[in-house]
Structure 1
């Protein structure tokens, strides 16, 4: 078996990895043909991820032109600990304010120390949702690596 095959994650491993990580790097294509790269918080949706961003952001302008992105999630501070997932994704822009607010609520619950569905959290999301767009990034191609599977042998 090739080294590539040895370090590839299964679908279940990818889903578990996405559930434990906190930041995705999202690359969209700028009008000049160069990638625009931005880190975002996200909520796992199986192999897909959901997030939100400001409606007037460069990401949204790029995605309106070409609703595709490449997403990277990675971790590890030494070779034997490197893990990651790179996904080529189709992107659905979600503009319904209630749906955007639902994503925002999930994000804030995932990343906040506030109690679930607190009044402050709901009020903050309600103020933000009209200014934002939800993004559902669904992979069409997934490449993964988990060097911990090598057991320190290269």
Structure 2
């Protein structure tokens, strides 16, 4: 078995990894052809991830021109602990304010450590998210190609 095959994550491991990590790095293409890289909070969604961001951001302008991105989630402080997932993604825009608010609410609950569904969120959290939603857009990243690595599977052997 190749080293590459040894460190590849299974679909279940990828799902669990998405649930435990907190930041994605999203790469889009600027008009000058150079990459634009931005860290974002996210929620796992299907086999990919979803987030919201300001509608007038550079990444959104880039995605309106070309609705494709590369998304990276990574962790590990040393070689034997490196883990990550890189995804080439098609990007779907969520523009309905209520749907955008649902993404924002799910993210807010996730990062605040509040369990449950967005409908069960505290009223003050809902109110804050609803104020922000009209200025935001939802982004759903659906992978077309996934590459993963988990060096912990090597047991400290290189």
Q: Runs in 1 of length 4+ with deviation above 2 angstroms?
A: 113-116
Within the candidate set 137, 144, 156, 1:140 is matched to: 144
**SS in structure 2 of the partner of residue 152 of structure 1:** coil
| 1:69 correspondence with 2:73 | no
Name the structure 2 match of 1:21: 21
Name the structure 1 match of 2:111: 111
Change beyond 3 A, Cα 1:113–1:146: closer
| CA distances 1:62-101 after superposition (whole Å, capped 9, x unpaired) | 0000000000000000110000000000000110001000
Q: Distance in 2 between matches of 1:124 and 1:114?
A: 15
Name the structure 1 match of 2:57: 57
Name the structure 2 match of 1:101: 101
**SS in structure 2 of the partner of residue 86 of structure 1:** strand
| CA distances 1:23-52 after superposition (whole Å, capped 9, x unpaired) | 000000100001100000000013210100
Q: Distance in 2 between matches of 1:103 and 1:46?
A: 13
| 1:43 correspondence with 2:43 | yes
- Report the TM-score when normalising by structure 1: 0.97
Q: CA deviation at 1:120?
A: 1.3
Q: Between Structure 1 and Structure 2, how many residues are aligned?
A: 154
Runs of 5+ unmatched residues, structure 1: none
- Report the TM-score when normalising by structure 2: 0.95
Q: Distance in 2 between matches of 1:92 and 1:11?
A: 22
Change beyond 3 A, Cα 1:114–1:8: closer
| 1:92 correspondence with 2:92 | yes
**SS in structure 2 of the partner of residue 148 of structure 1:** helix
Q: Distance in 2 between matches of 1:9 and 1:88?
A: 16
